[in-house]
Structure 1
């Protein structure tokens, strides 16, 4: 911490790791657990919705959602998330992190329950109602991104800040895993309770009416973890950096932190340098942080194209690769169970470990190296899957009576899981962490929201455009899509060079705010004006 910076920030940066840090990780992390559960549990349920509401009696085959309806169900929550990230990110810098935190949580709880209660007299009205509530569910989820990241970054000490923020984000992996596990448990319960036939040509028998409860219960259970953490979120004090740097009340900032951290924080009377009080839409902001914002936004955009395509298209890729039988070979509830099982295996062996590798290593090897390596390895594994897709899938798929392929499904699963491992031990974690560190406190939540919204723009592109290559399970289209995603990841590798390393520096040093007090100036900034370390 440079000379002239208030002691409250120095105390936060040098505070020993203690119980409240871990409590903050759990409180903020449960929001991300809920976010991931709500966004990704739908992947196991989309085919069930098609069989329930889009059965055509003239064909006698299991129902299937039209492509635009399938895209809407999966993509509408992402559209809400995009809007929520921008709105709540901005609001977090205006009203404070704590006040807005509660609003996002209540929105998530209410809309998760309402999604499961979607009603209507026709298939279109039920799906329309579901999409309406999932949009607002996404809106609440969107607010959780900038607020959770910024709160954790502003609470954390300097030495382990990256690991703390990464631990919050790692709960996303646990949420994805639990989404698959809950879908498995609920579908298994109905399979055991009602014992539907394993296979029937008749749609009425292969899609029992009890299946309508499966998707509703899975969606509504997403409200439980968010509701359980509401009380503790409201008990958290406002972050000292917002109170001191944005509201200008250093005494209250010190008092709030002394309530929760085991350290004495002397209060210094300081005055902000008016020359450094530039606005977000100013030439000075563009000069200091314009390149950073472009870098964080672009890399998150490219990452989410690949990450969300891979997650949302799992149901189609698993069927095409032979990991899950074709729909006519099983009843609707069994199909949910098998898709959820495959999702859970990928999450358990690929997704979750990747997050925790980041937690333990990010403050040792740095954000830049992890992001660069992650993009490169994702590109490599997706290229291998794409160019070898015909061999991995097996050429006998078209003639297999059981719906299983005789290719190399286990090798496919390993390569697919490795892609997700390096997404999470890579850019999926670092794109969340770095925007919470780079920008000044008065813009931090807004800039994180802009970066995150850019990512969700990529996710929306994945849901509404890229997935068109997988919806009909055409192996040639899937092959082209996967190769295209390898190229997208390589572009992410290149754009990473626009994002500086933040390891080992205080937030004020990174953002240049250590020059906002006393004699400090831009020369004390840990990052030069060209954005490099």
Structure 2
């Protein structure tokens, strides 16, 4: 064994896949299921909110959210997520991963329920309350990113670590799918129970009073999976890497991992004390040493995630507008409010089922064979190709005869986002930084991604408007049009290819090798760790 490697960490690196690995994936993954549901349920109900609260004659465009309100409702949770990623990422390194893990989940539960109970004497009051609770919902969601990724990376063995971390993130795909399915179920139930005329008959009459229940139920459902996993999240022990390398508590690390690994682990208190005294890895985040060792790595993870999320969230949050633009979803005036929710939910469900979910699990299956670098480069490349393929002949795709082709190509952009950089940008920052800075650096990388998502959410809303100021929606300044917006997103994906060159390959290496905390390499403990013999820590 390397003189710089603690026995318990090496035992974790070479441990066979065990039940605790799958338990950790489910516990951490259900947080991401909830995260995705909460973030991507809002596109399902956005148009309904406009129908309910903005049908009065004084509205700029009756039945539609004003542009500033639409931007706020779609983007405020992303702002909260960015803040939560930075705060909880830092806190996870200061107080421990497990100590703040439950707090993020409780925030998500409380704010999911509160979002559905948003109140006010006027439309502005309801929207302001909704935005307030969705900001704090996003704050809790943000904390889940660095904590879940770090916990899973520190529990996993090095052979299948990529697949385990990617599996946690892949639960996001099921969350997006669930948002569409819940929207389908709820809208179907209410649409059949309370028939209403089409919007063109009467904007107010097209929205029955019971429609107000629809969006509230859809948003509040996000609290359910979080509640179900809270108890198990609180029972998880702190990771051995934090306890041993950051908290310097050999006894606690040995005790926790003895239960997890189901073998006797002997504390090595003297070794931890000696390593603490001799360590050359005590540098902080804002130091020249960190910049020398990990500066380019952090630049790579932040820029790649930033660029990816501009394209990814633009596509996800405003896919309903793209469907309307190509005529897949009929004009709002031809249907009642609840039926519109049904059609938007159906479209989101089909795209998630055909493109989003499979892409995540292709990554899980292949990431430890192809490597992170290859998958990320490939994903950005094909996203670029398909964006340009959609954008350049855009008017060809808007013809009714070619809509199926458009949807297939559009689904492929989601497939290669998830079998590509959307997964790898989550995995790599949890592997390549030192233990005492791992959660913080992942939080910074993820926050850069959410900055890109905010650019996508607010920017695409305006950019995709019709180029003719006389034809653009009321209240929106003229934009560059959907076609040019897709070209711009293709160029952003191409920039992601270049930034990927800054990110190192982490396949098959221990976390300590990657971070430089173990300069001497590895180990002859493989046999001991896998045969149940006593391991020192």
TM-based fold match above 0.5: yes
1:312-391 matches, cutoff 5 A:
312-391=317-396
State the Cα distance separating 1:132 from its structure 2 match: 0.4
Contact 1:55 1:62 in 2 (8 A): yes
Contact 1:358 1:425 in 2 (8 A): yes
**Hey, what does 2:22 align to over in structure 1?**
22
Structure 2: distance between partners of 1:476 and 1:138: 30
1:261-300 matches, cutoff 5 A:
261-268=261-268, 269-270=270-271, 271-272=274-275, 273-300=278-305
State the Cα distance separating 1:61 from its structure 2 match: 7.4
Structure 2: distance between partners of 1:311 and 1:78: 13
Per-residue CA shift, 1:307-328, capped at 9, x if unaligned?
0000011110011111111100
Per-residue CA shift, 1:480-514, capped at 9, x if unaligned?
10010000000001100000000000000100111
**Hey, what does 1:392 align to over in structure 2?**
397
SS at match of 2:41: helix
Structure 2: distance between partners of 1:220 and 1:73: 16
Query: Does residue 481 of the first structure (1) align with residue 485 of the second (2)?
Result: yes
Structure 2: distance between partners of 1:61 and 1:209: 20
Query: Which blocks of at least 5 consecutive residues in structure 2 are unaligned?
Result: 466-471, 523-537
Query: Does residue 49 of the first structure (1) align with residue 49 of the second (2)?
Result: yes
State the Cα distance separating 1:409 from its structure 2 match: 1.3
**Hey, what does 1:402 align to over in structure 2?**
none
State the Cα distance separating 1:515 from its structure 2 match: 3.6
Contact 1:41 1:179 in 2 (8 A): yes
Contact 1:11 1:263 in 2 (8 A): no
**Hey, what does 2:225 align to over in structure 1?**
225
**Hey, what does 2:443 align to over in structure 1?**
449
Query: Does residue 162 of the first structure (1) align with residue 166 of the second (2)?
Result: no
Residue 515 of structure 2, aligned match among 505, 511, 515: 511
Structure 2: distance between partners of 1:261 and 1:416: 44
Structure 1: distance between partners of 2:186 and 2:436: 45
**Cα distance change on mapping 1:174 and 1:319 into 2, 3 Å:** same
Structure 2: distance between partners of 1:517 and 1:475: 55
Contact 1:306 1:462 in 2 (8 A): yes
Contact 1:163 1:359 in 2 (8 A): yes
Contact 2:386 2:413 in 1 (8 A): yes
SS at match of 1:413: helix
State the Cα distance separating 1:467 from its structure 2 match: 2.0
The alignment's TM-score, normalised by the length of structure 1, stands at: 0.92
1:91-170 matches, cutoff 5 A:
91-170=91-170
Q: CA RMSD in A?
A: 1.8
1:227-242 matches, cutoff 5 A:
227-242=227-242
Return 508-517 or 96-105, whichever deviates more. Answer: 508-517
Per-residue CA shift, 1:25-53, capped at 9, x if unaligned?
00000000000000010001111111111
**Hey, what does 1:466 align to over in structure 2?**
460
State the Cα distance separating 1:478 from its structure 2 match: 0.5
**Cα distance change on mapping 1:59 and 1:428 into 2, 3 Å:** closer
SS at match of 2:266: coil
Structure 1: distance between partners of 2:483 and 2:461: 12
**Cα distance change on mapping 1:369 and 1:59 into 2, 3 Å:** closer
Query: Which blocks of at least 5 consecutive residues in structure 1 are unaligned?
Result: 395-405, 519-533
Return 1-10 or 358-367, whichever deviates more. Answer: 1-10
Per-residue CA shift, 1:433-477, capped at 9, x if unaligned?
000000000000000000000000000111111221235589960
Query: Does residue 74 of the first structure (1) align with residue 79 of the second (2)?
Result: no
State the Cα distance separating 1:196 from its structure 2 match: 2.9
**Cα distance change on mapping 1:327 and 1:501 into 2, 3 Å:** same
How many residues align structurally? Answer: 507
SS at match of 1:204: coil
Return 508-517 or 39-48, whichever deviates more. Answer: 508-517
The alignment's TM-score, normalised by the length of structure 2, stands at: 0.92
Structure 1: distance between partners of 2:489 and 2:200: 38
State the Cα distance separating 1:193 from its structure 2 match: 1.7
Structure 2: distance between partners of 1:264 and 1:439: 29
